[in-house]
A and B are shown apart, each in its own frame.
Chain A
């Protein structure tokens, strides 16, 4: 069995990317993400063909990824919330040009420059607001460093399969903390990229990577084709993890760091006889609507816990569609809900006595 290592989330995600065959990294410093770039700057120059480049801005870094990915290599960038805002212009272009890539967002609190402590206030941005034009990216929400490492492989492979950007929605907590991790002995899978800008070598027509279609009918056709890919992703790749849900009457729906704490709170409540469970969205786009919709059949109520004023709660309510009450508890500004706070919320909802 592979070795159990102690690593920071930011460093583990970088190492995982290298293992997944990504040796082109374009970065820009921002707390609490900088260790991703620092790790790459140390490792990539030692790898044949490896490219680490510190760009002049997050905007430029994203566009370098666009160029490198368009050339057919696995490329990635990482940033934290304000920096991701700057990258969204290019993410829209990548989506519109059907260019895969991996982007890590080590979320910090906002809005504006906000703070540097962990947050989940970029849910809307990741699932709804990646630039203009109504594009999507695959959005993965790890709740442990181990899971983040595994998602890097899936991220690149699904991104390439569907020609769509992928995002790992980490946060300052997962990025800065260390916990044990085992790197998978998984060989990266590669597929042909006949669209890549490799130079035609007089062996094919010239390739064009482009998102401009001035003829409305042509653009509609292009967008419809992409929407079909989105629909296939929605159908096949929406993932949620269930914990103690078999007999649960109340469930917490939470992702990422908030799900860790919620799981621990549920353990405590189970010891007190409260039938609580956890539904943890692992992908945020596509959102695991079906898992929540069917859970709503057995549950009496749901508590959504987020490190924001409530963003994912909207998707949960859409999935539940009024069948049962959906409550919300959140902390924001860089504060993680405590185990006790979540216990108290659930006890109040279930009428349990503290």
Chain B
């Protein structure tokens, strides 16, 4: 019998802990497929964040490290500077990357560290039980914005791709979503480009991926996917925000 679909080698056999309907698994798979296709598993080191994806170190077959909350880009910097031939990626959620790790994110970008950042944005803190995240949209109800996010009290959502696109050091910043098959294909393409950029020494690439949290959004998986399109797109429009890969390569 011909095998037409199988688990990428870069994913381990460990059963993932993610909630039913969570789309982390899809993104893990896309990253792993990319590692397989580029044949880089043997020299790839991944950095797991604090948050729902903390156990990513158990799921990827490449060498892995678990970083302090928000510090993944700094840890990745150390890994990459120590062994420039290795391929280093971080996998970070919105709380990790855009709240406590804002400084590490911005400065890794501004140095154009030759790393790949997979930024998974579901507009909520999942691991701690559904609190407001830096990317929680206006009026969104969370455990700590029970009356909806009020910008007068809690400020506005952080638009990471837009913000990083203003930095000279950012090579590639793109926002995609995994809420439908077309989006998944586009996400795969973006992830592959972000890893390829690193292979070609082009500098800092970030793929911001909108994904769903049915558990803490209080929705069915299907409703959650629809909600991304209806309610999150207006705040976080999809698109390529920065791409200077066509220019001269970055040393």
Q: Which residues of A contact B (CB under 8 A)?
A: 24, 26, 51, 53, 55-57, 59-61, 63-73, 75, 89-90, 93, 97, 197-203, 206-212
CB pair B57–A60 under 8 Å, yes or no, is no
B68 and A68 contact, CB distance less than 8 A: no
**Across the interface, do B77 and A67 meet the contact criterion of CB distance under 8 Å?**
yes
Given contacts A70-B79, A197-B86, A208-B57, 5 further A-B contacts (CB under 8 A): A51-B81, A60-B74, A66-B68, A67-B76, A67-B82
Docked CA distance A211–B78 (Å): 18
Could you tell me if A56 and B81 are in contact, using CB atoms closer than 8 angstroms?
no
For residue B34, give the distance in angstroms from its CB to the closest CB of chain A: 16
CB within 8 Å of A: which of B62-113? 62-68, 71, 74-83, 86, 103-104, 106-107
Interface with A: B41-49, B163-171, B205-213, which one? Answer: B41-49
| Bound CA–CA A57/B12 (angstroms) | 35
CB distance from A111 to the nearest CB of B (A): 24
In the complex, residue of chain B having the shortest beta-carbon distance to the beta carbon of A60 = B74
Does B140 sit at the interface, judged by CB under 8 A?
no
The listed residue with most A CB atoms (<10 A of its CB), out of B47, B78, B86, B107, is B78
The verdict on A63 contacting B41 (CB below 8 Å), with A71-B79, A199-B83 known, is: no
Nearest neighbor of A52 in chain B, beta-carbon distance: B81
Q: Say yes or no: A63-B65 contact (C-beta < 8 A), given A68-B78, A71-B82, A199-B83.
A: no
Determine if A75 and B82 form an interchain contact, defined as CB atoms under 8 angstroms apart. Answer: yes
Cβ-defined contact, A64 with B54, below 8 A:
no
- Please judge, given known A-B contacts A71-B83, A199-B43, whether A206 and B74 are in contact too, CB under 8 Å: no
Contacts A63-B104, A67-B82, A206-B63; A199 near B44 (Cβ below 8 A): yes
* Sample (19) of A-B pairs whose CB atoms are under 8 Å apart: A51-B81, A56-B103, A56-B106, A61-B74, A63-B78, A64-B75, A64-B77, A65-B78, A66-B68, A67-B80, A68-B78, A70-B78, A71-B78, A73-B83, A199-B62, A200-B41, A206-B12, A206-B64, A208-B57
B140 to chain A, nearest CB (A): 29
Q: State which of A59, A71, A90, A202 has its C-beta within 8 Å of the C-beta of B41.
A: A202
Contacts of A212 in B (CB 8 A): 54, 66
| Total chain B interface residues with beta-carbon distance under 8 A | 36
Tell me, yes or no, whether B58 is within 8 Å of chain A by CB.
yes
Kindly state the separation between the CA atoms of A169 and B249 in the bound complex, as whole angstroms.
43
CA–CA, A93 to B75, complex, Å? 12
Is B204's CB within 8 Å of the partner chain A? no
When chains A and B are docked, how far (Å) is the Cα of A207 from the Cα of B66? 11
Determine the distance from Cα of A59 to Cα of B76 in the docked complex, in whole angstroms.
Answer: 14
- CB pair B86 A66 closer than 8 Å: no
A69 to B63, CA, bound (A): 14
**Contact A24/B66 with A64-B75, A67-B75 known, Cβ cut-off 8 Å:** no
A59 touches B71 (CB 8 A): yes
Does the CB pair A90–B68 fall under 8 Å?
yes
- How far does the alpha carbon of A210 sit from the alpha carbon of B79 in the complex, in Å? 15
Main secondary structure on chain A at its contact with chain B?
Answer: mixed
Q: Which of A64, A201, A208 is most buried by chain B, counting CB atoms within 10 A of its CB? A: A64
CB atoms of B62 and A200 under 8 A apart: yes
B107 touches A56 (CB 8 A): yes
Q: Which residues of B contact A197 (CB under 8 A)?
A: 45, 63-65, 79, 86
List the B side residues contacting A26 at CB < 8 Å: 78
Q: For residue B104, which residues in chain A have a CB less than 8 angstroms away from its CB?
A: 56, 59-60, 63
Report the minimal beta-carbon distance from B209 to chain A, rounded to whole angstroms: 23
Q: Are A60 and B86 in contact (CB under 8 A)?
A: no
**B43 with A210: CB separation less than 8 A:** no
B141 CB to closest chain A CB, in angstroms? 28
Q: Which residues of B contact A59 (CB under 8 A)?
A: 71, 74, 103-104
Which of A68, A93, A201, A209 makes the CB contact (< 8 A) with B82?
A: A68
Let me know if B61 is at the binding interface, CB within 8 A.
yes
Q: Give, as a whole number of angstroms, the nearest-CB distance from A129 to chain B.
A: 17
Most buried by A among B66, B79, B104: B79
B119 an interface residue at 8 Å Cβ cutoff?
no
CB <8 Å contact, B71 and A53 = no
Collect the chain A residues with CB atoms within 8 Å of residue B79's CB. Answer: 67-68, 70-71, 197
In the assembled complex, the Cα of A33 lies from the Cα of B57 at a distance in Å of 36
Question: Could you tell me the distance in whole angstroms from the C-beta of A174 to the nearest C-beta in chain B?
Answer: 27
Complex Cα–Cα for A64 and B12 (A): 27
In the bound assembly, the distance between CA atoms of A199 and B71 in angstroms comes to: 21
Give every chain B residue within 8 A of A208 (Cβ-Cβ). 57-58, 63-66
B65 A70 Cβ-Cβ under 8 A: yes
Given A63-B74, A89-B68, do A24 and B82 touch, yes or no (CB 8 Å)? yes
Task: Select B86's contact among A61, A71, A75, A89, beta carbons within 8 Å.
Answer: A71
Within the assembled complex, what's the spacing in Å between the Cα atoms of A75 and B75? 12
- What separation, in Å, do the CA atoms of A63 and B80 have in the docked complex? 12
User: Which residues 176-221 of B have a CB within 8 angstroms of A?
Assistant: none
A206, B60: Cβ atoms closer than 8 Å: yes
- Given A24-B82, A71-B45, A71-B86, answer yes or no on A63-B64 (Cβ-Cβ < 8 Å): no
Residues on the B chain within 8 Å of A63, using CB: 67-68, 71, 74-75, 77-78, 104
